[in-house]
Amino acid sequence: MSPASLLLLVSLCFSAAQARPDSPSSTPVGIRCSASNNRIDPATTKLLSDCAETMYCPRSVNDTTRSNDKNQSQICADRLCRRDEFPFGYAVDEPLPPLCPPGAFCPDDGSGCRVLVDIGETCELARDEQCAGMSWTPICLHSTCMYANATLGLACVTETTTYINTWPNGEQTSNAITRDNCASPGLYCDPTTLVCLNARALNDVCAVDYECFSGNCASGVCKNPPETPLRIAPWQSALVSTTLVGAIIGLGLWLNIIHNRRTLANSRVLHDYCYQQLHLRRAMFAIRAGKGVE
């Protein structure tokens, strides 16, 4: 995962945690709402409504009719579907709405599973999975489903979304995510000419992450992303192995020298002790022999 994606994930999780109600029942049952009040948070792009995190505002008395009368006042209802495996706002022991089956998607408001959207039709922000596509990978740009199949030198569409996160100390950080419909990987959409260009290789000059094939532009140069495994060159492995073997052999020789020196010192001490004992014994014999002569 790239640093931009990681920062985006942390920002969205933190913002969702701030918006999470104190309990699943923070919105009283029967509270009235209006679908016209559904809006996008300009900082986090999160969908906001009059209802709690676990509820949605129906568009009509019978939501299955999909009435276009959004100004009509309705009553908040439990969400009918979920997008994520572990959605926000639910207690540990609270039942979760179902995930949508293949060929369907759950909209941001959780109002129920819908059939995938055809190319050229409307989709929700950054919800590529809402678009139906067979031959090419579909993508949702500017709230419209399209194919990400623009090749080198062809016109392209780009979209930049800025996410703003406010930390507990009041400090704000922003993260801009740029997406385009150029065939990936290896191409990106130049925001000036709106033409697909080749992504830049490692160590090439860059301005933003999406210009690099690696997706990481650091200090104006394309570099490997932080999560890239470190690969050790063969000469480095050989050098480390040789150093370790040499260190082990050197340590063995040093310990052997110390052992021999201590053994030699002990031998000298023992030799001196034995010499002193023999000298003392001879002296005692000499004294006894002298007394016997007298």
Q: How many CB atoms lie within 10 A of CB 15?
A: 20
Q: Which residues contact 68 (CB under 8 A, 6 or more apart)?
A: 59
Predicted confidence at residue 31, as pLDDT, reads 82
Of 49-53, 58-62, 75-79, 174-178, minimum mean pLDDT range: 58-62
**Residue 13: both structure tokens together:** 């999780």
Cα–Cα nearest to 55, from 74, 71, 36: 74
Q: Which residues contact 274 (CB under 8 A, 6 or more apart)?
A: none
Section 246-253 average pLDDT: 96
Predicted confidence at residue 291, as pLDDT, reads 66
CB 97 within 8 A of CB 82: yes
* pLDDT confidence bin for 259, thresholds 50/70/90: very high
Tens of pLDDT, residues 206-226: 999 999 999 899 999 999 998
Tens of pLDDT, residues 119-165: 999 999 999 999 998 778 899 999 999 999 999 999 999 999 999 98
Of 28-32, 76-80, 121-125, 276-280, minimum mean pLDDT range: 28-32
The SS3 call for residue 293 is: helix
- The CA angle 140-16-75, to the nearest 5 degrees, is 85
Residue 270 dihedral angles phi and psi, to the nearest 5°: -65, -40
- Above pLDDT 90, what percent of the chain? 54
CB 164 within 8 A of CB 172: yes
Distance CA 5, CA 191 (A): 20
DSSP string, 94-106: SPPPPBPPTTEE-
Predicted confidence at residue 16, as pLDDT, reads 44
As a dihedral over the C-alpha atoms of residue 250, residue 251, residue 255, residue 256, rounded to 10 degrees, the angle is -40
Choose between 49 and 66: higher pLDDT: 49
* pLDDT confidence bin for 205, thresholds 50/70/90: very high
